[in-house]
Amino acid sequence: MMGDVNGMNDRMTRDGKAIFYVLGILMLLAFAGILIDPVQDKRQFAAFLFVRQDALFILILMLLVRFGLGTAPAMPRWADKLGRFWWSIPVFLLLICWIGHRLAFDGYALTRDEQMALFDGFIYRYARLGWPLPVFWQDNALALNQQFILPIAGHRAWLSDYLPVHALARTLVGMVVDPGLTNPLLTAIGAIALWRIARRLWPHDGGAQVATLLLYAGSSQIVVMGMSSYAMPGYLALNLVWLALFLRGGASGHGFAVCVGLIATGWHQPIFHPLFVLPFFAMLAWQRRWRLLCLYGLIYAGIGLAWLAWPHFAANAAGGAAMQGGQIGYGARITMLLSGFDGISLWLMSLNLLRFVAWQHLLLVPLVVTGVRFAWRDPLALSLLAGLILPVAAATLLLAYQGHGWGYRYLHGIIGNACLLGGYGWSALRRRVGTPALWTAANIATFLGVVPVHIALAASIVRPYATVSRAIDRTNSDMVVIDDLAAAFGGDLVSNRPDLGNRPVRLMASQLDDHAMMALCRMHSVAFIGEEQLAPIQRVIPAEETSTDRFRRLEKLCASVRRAARQPLA
């Protein structure tokens, strides 16, 4: 028995050293990219987040895995008792995410990704697929912010270029309760589905079940993304529900899994869910379950083709599919993204992986490594591992830069895979003598230290934008021209309702020409939001101002129009 214990502790030590060296190499790549090449634009922001939010946590984790894993963790009594009240964890996540959305994030949708769900939801409430733009705005649509808008010819109408299910889900939730509850509900649903999977995999190992759920709840990325309006919590919940049904099997299990697959593929982008399920289809082939594999293959082929056709269908319904310097089909988009792959993509991915690790439970990575070591012959464990690797490869090739993201959001849908591999790791430690103090200390540090700090860091970025946005809403004018290039992500402040019924209507100074400016100043009251009003954002994310001269020119032009209007006729 003592030899067995020592062998396990030796393996934990070796695993810790391996993790230490891998993280060390990624850290060296990250800092080398920052020091060798002074980064600009998107690379500058990725480096900013790494230095301000991630580097310290990675260093702490490196110290833990190098010097704190001399003995394997063991399940303390409090955690064993928690298994009888497992439902308290989904309830806790629901409450903390909703409270965080309202208090930490001030109920604000920070990014254009989040705003598009609200934008499309407005359209869908009126049983439409797009919203027509008035003639004047068709000629000046770029000033309204056309990022992530389908490029319909002539800008006759507008709707986002995302798939519709996420926006529909938020709209349905908003008909009953606060739509801000959408992601908290999805986060709680993901926890419930994960518990069901853990119960199926380890029916007699309560420790592995509890460990899996605590790894989920201790992920800062899961908690903070659950406070946001991003689509990613939906992928996590739907993927775990799909896996629970897939493992349940039978006609009902696989039938409902296909229904979930239809929803998940059309949730936001068509790539994330198929990358999750593909390894499980490979597992069916390995197990020679040919009939089931063919059934899934045929149905998912139909699902994929249907959602790939969505942009063309929606554009036609909204007013015409002819492109205006943009790409409607996914094939053209993928080709464009692949053309942007270069060496910087690899550097960005090193930052992304470090950020992903930094926003997880402190013991997730060690337990995942242990799980892979001991369960590498298990087809399900290998499928879970492949599900982690595929999105990393796809993101590296297609779009390594994520912009804003609490953790690495392109891997959000497969955090459940990592938690389950961590459960495999815990199961491998079962019946082996370890120290409950390590597990207790790691959970205290995670839930009372890491997660609250990450919430505060995210809120410190979101709240200045929310403050500026509220100030814009209080502006007593018909239109507001925003110096969108004078602050980091200033364009995200330019968000309007599809019917332009919001007051004031927000406009991007960088996309507004002189003739449009003069016409607006003749017909409407116009206010200007410049560097002074944007100062709260500049203090949080220092960025080089690039458009102040253009903005001041528009402001002076509008003032001259007003003076001319006040002069009496001769």
- Find, among 131, 119, 126, 130, the residue nearest to 166 by Cα: 119
Q: Encode the chain (570 residues) as per-residue pLDDT tens digits.
A: 445 555 566 677 788 888 999 999 999 999 888 887 655 555 688 899 999 999 999 999 999 888 877 666 666 677 677 778 899 999 999 999 999 999 999 999 999 999 999 999 999 999 999 999 999 999 999 999 999 998 888 889 998 899 999 999 999 999 999 999 999 999 999 999 999 999 999 998 888 899 999 999 999 999 999 999 999 999 999 999 999 999 999 999 999 999 999 999 999 999 999 999 999 999 999 999 999 999 999 999 999 999 999 988 888 887 765 554 456 677 777 888 888 888 888 999 999 999 999 999 999 999 999 999 888 889 999 999 999 999 999 999 998 999 899 999 999 999 999 999 999 998 887 656 566 778 888 999 999 999 999 999 999 999 999 999 999 999 999 999 999 999 999 999 999 999 999 999 999 999 999 999 999 999 999 999 999 999 999 999 987 766 678 899 999 999 999 888 776 655
Distance CA 469, CA 464 (A): 9
Q: Under a CB-based contact definition with an 8 Å cutoff, are residues 462 and 110 in contact?
A: yes
Distance CA 412, CA 406 (A): 10
CA-atom Rg of the chain in angstroms = 25
Phi, psi of 158 (to 5 degrees): -145, 145
pTM above 0.85, yes or no: yes
Q: Under a CB-based contact definition with an 8 Å cutoff, are residues 490 and 548 in contact?
A: no
Cis geometry, peptide bond prior to residue 76 (ω within 30 degrees of 0): no
Distance CA 570, CA 453 (A): 66
Distance CA 407, CA 425 (A): 23
172: exposed, middle or buried (C-beta count within 10 Å: 0-12, 13-18, 19+)?
Answer: middle
Pull the structure tokens for residue 275: 């990358």
Distance CA 360, CA 60 (A): 13
Q: Under a CB-based contact definition with an 8 Å cutoff, are residues 389 and 93 in contact?
A: no
